[in-house]
Structure 1
Amino acid sequence: MGPITRRRRWASLLGATALAVTAGGALACPANASTNVDFATHCIPPAVAGIPPIDGTTTAAISVDNTAPKVGDNVTVTYTVVKPAASNPTALALPADIMTPTGKITLGGAQTGSITVAGPKKNDPVPGNGAFPSFSMTGTFKVTTAGSITLSPGDYNIHTSYILELDTPCTVTNPPAPVSETITAQDTTPVNNRAITLRTASGNPGASVTVDGTGFTAGATVTLAGRSGDTQTADTATVTADANGNISGPLVVNDKTTTGVVAYEGSVYSAALGAGPAAYTVIDNTPIPAGSQKLTTTVNAGTLSMSQDGDSVALSAVNFGTGGASTGALRTVHVKDFRGGPAGWSLTGKVTDFTGPGAKIDAKNLSWTPACATKTGSPSTCQAGSAGTVGTSGATLASTPNGTVTGGEFTADAGLSLDVPAFTPVGTYSAVLTLTLS
């Protein structure tokens, strides 16, 4: 078999898969995308495919879940490749669900940088010599600066899992690509950038610990104080922030119950004007009486985590022309709070639009009725969120409050109901409900 024959054979087996990265075509971009943009793209199929690089035009769009966020908000972005640089170059039909896309979005204007986005391993079958289906990738970024922020599509890659595991990267030929979406970030409560570090993490009663800090108001009087849990001790000192907002000074710690040190501006500690607590331990060096033995033990802090009983929910079917409530139940979510300390937690959820055969059902049509339970012996008590719309903005499923001592094990559930309009086109619709524990 000659080199040309081998090349054609590999192309027939692998070429279409390798070029899945250049897919695009049939599906429209999300409804809230502002602009479809075209940009020159250079795609490099795997060498094993025997196919030369492809230079063409990609059509893409970017959408966001919030076009007017506040500084500090997290924004969810969707990068949709609507039309790729090329279509399937061979007569080989490709099966469904072999493509996993990833990519980047470029930020500009008031905030610069890039956002990593990824999509699910899901695609429709592709006929030989046919157009590839479009694909979407999502990600999030935190707004850090007020003003107009632009979003442009960037490089993307498709990992294909058919016959071989292959990657095909596509790069923007003349970056950055045209702007597809613009958001306007609003000013909000100033971000607290105060931070402290301790030069030592422990000491005997009466020992001095040096506290260094940054981000304080220039010239401000800053109080250094010991903390026992969430209560301030009698151990305090003051320092003055320099012209750059830096502090450095000693704090004598006598209280044996001290668990940390804080620094703050004003008369009392607050999260808005303070920093810390930085962990600190007082070593109890009280002499042991004759004939006695001192026993100690340590309780290690754990983590805040969640798991769920499954990752898919099939809601009940409704009839065309009638519509109505499509109902089901959220897979049970298990929360373990083994951190110790005073912080509670919040479990929230938000959902995308339900997309189907050329149509969609708005995310605002999904509502839930939350419920939660607390395992016996847990210091905290779980509180269910309010019944109502989930939507793209999100809602609370369950939470626990802050307290002197928190923690425990909990379960959260919810009844789900999707209001399907009467004449929604026949077909299957799907959405992604994302749960966030913080």
Structure 2
Amino acid sequence: MRTTARNRRWPAALGTAVLAATAGAAALGASAAAEGEVPEGRVEFATQCLAPQEAGVPPADGPTTARISVDDPAPRVGDTVTVTYQVLSTPARGPADGALPADVLTPTGRVLLAGAQQGEVTVVGARRNDPVPPGAPLPPVTMTGTFTVTAPGALTLAPGDYALHTAHPAAPETACTPSGTTAVPVSAHLTAAALPTANLRSVFPAAAHGGPGATVRVTAAGFPPGAAVTVAGRAGAAGTADRVTVTAGALGAAEADLPVTDRATTAVIAYEGDAWTAERGSGPAAYTVIDDTPRPADPPTTVTAEVTATVAPGSLTMTQAGRDLTLGTVAYGTAAAVPGRIGTVTVTDARGGPAGWALTGKVTDFTGPGGVRIPGASLSWTPACTSAPGSRSTCTAGSAGVVGPEGALLASAPDGPSAGGTFTVDAAVTLHVPPYTPPGSYAAVLTLTLS
């Protein structure tokens, strides 16, 4: 009955690449055998290959030797992975009563995905082969296809059905499916990573200074609802004993009254967990403890008059002229470096303390039509920084290089006995667009952080 069914569809198969698939073959490939796997290498599985009755070739049962490989074993969610399916040897044979000429063999097949992502990948090969003598085994073939990663975690790839279509009247198509009771072994593995998430945690003191022991109202935002948030003082890079723990509300914000008793405190931070980390904590907000201890009175015999003036510290702030940046246009098919320039950033340091500052930037992937991405690491910059006349600090531009999602230093000023001033920061940017990037508009988010 199977041969009759294939005879009925044969005329429609002439001149086309046909993928033969059966429910039984899909079930065999969907789960890799625990025994007999050869990770990232050659595998062998029992196969039955059926040719049309007109070919004069009986069903061929025997082992298929195959290998599956991927171009990226560690992609991220949203990436496109290219899969190569090589049939190194097959029990299928050419027609018994005639030779197959060169370049008439077109292979198609399926690669079965399991693990973090289920499904299959259709693969197709070029019509390319040496002449095949009558009744001789069909030659090795190579097929490729692509799929998009949709979930993080470990994935396995196993060979599935394949069809060898010749576009030759004597043997239009030979379909090969896994057979037997043993599952088809896994031939390749990959591990997909989730896309990185931005840390939006931040802290806002109601005042930038106070006397020893003063209580400052602090607002922490960007935390998970219900999280235990610790608000604490910091002296440079070290924490102080000043701390209080509150619970974030439904919107991820919390308010705390923090008594600041350590005279060395230079900043306030907020974080989750036992200690501050870059992933679960906010950046520091400047805070200065002003020593207002009264001086002892002069002896009565001394007539003096003390004149006192107070210089109140300000804040560390930045402004930017024109935040949005539009790059040029690239012709499809070419690899190009598209130039641009960020809006000028003005950093004002009016804190009056010894702390320096750092301005960093990071950029997300560029997302275009259909979810196609240009990696954020394709954007590089050449920073420049100028200190205004009279500034107490001298700013230094960051190194030229890749910005990317991990971030890079745009400019900084060091700690010093008396820091402060106004600084102008610029950067020329270049986006390296890969060749044959699909047409469309690609957008990313460039985040600048001053701390």
Shorter-chain TM-score tier = 0.3 to 0.5
TM-score (norm 2): 0.40
TM-score (norm 1): 0.41
Of the two, which has the highest radius of gyration? Answer: 2
